[in-house]
Structures are given as structure tokens and as C-alpha cells.
Structure 1
Amino acid sequence: MIVKIKCRQCGEKRTIRRATLKDARKTKRLFKNKCICGKCTFKVMANKAAKEIVRGVTRA
């Protein structure tokens, strides 16, 4: 079974193979609102790190 999932934030599509229909439906539900590509999560982490650096500079 092939599952096609689209990333909510950047729009990148990914295909995942599953053995049964039940597993395919479960993975579709799991990745429905998550980022699959990894680029978006890296951007969020980088933004948080940048904000912490700016806060540290302004407080000191």
C-alpha cells in the first residue's frame, strides 16, 4: 500500500509504503498535521535559537 502525504507547512510530498491497508490509514492519521520533510522543524528550531540569542543580548 502506498500512502502519499503532503507537508502542511512547505507543501513537499512524500510517499510511504505500508504492508496493509490498516497500517496505511494509521500512518496517514499520524502524519496528518506533522511535518514530514524535516526542513520546517529545522526552521522552527533555528528561529527559537535566534530569539534566545537576541533576548540574551538585550538583557545583558
Structure 2
Amino acid sequence: MRALILRVLGRFRGDGGMTTAEYAVGTIAAVAFAAVLFKVVTSDGVQTALNGLIEKALR
């Protein structure tokens, strides 16, 4: 059992960080999420709700 645990832990010790491909995938995912968030925030319904919230706060 101990040998199995040491072998599994040994596999994780050699990982020095993300590779270039992993950075690329992470960057693409972040950009896609930002694009979706931008579309949601600039939609008519959200704009109306934000404007109403700001007007109510300023009164």
C-alpha cells in the first residue's frame, strides 16, 4: 500500500506548472467567459435594471 501511495505522489512531484498549451486553453476560456459576460451586461434587460437601480439609489 505504501509503495502505491509513493508512486502516485511521485507522479505529481514532477509537474512544474502549466505548459504553453494549458496557458492557451486557459486564455481562450477566459476570453470566451469575458465575451459572454459582456453580452449579458450590455443586453437591454440588464441595462434597464442597472439604470433603474442607479436612479433609485440617487433619489
Is TM (by shorter chain) over 0.5? Answer: no
| Greater per-residue strand proportion | 1
TM-score normalised by structure 2 residue count: 0.43
TM-score normalised by structure 1 residue count: 0.42
Looking at CA atoms only, which structure, 1 or 2, has the larger radius of gyration?
A: 2
| Greater per-residue helix proportion | 2
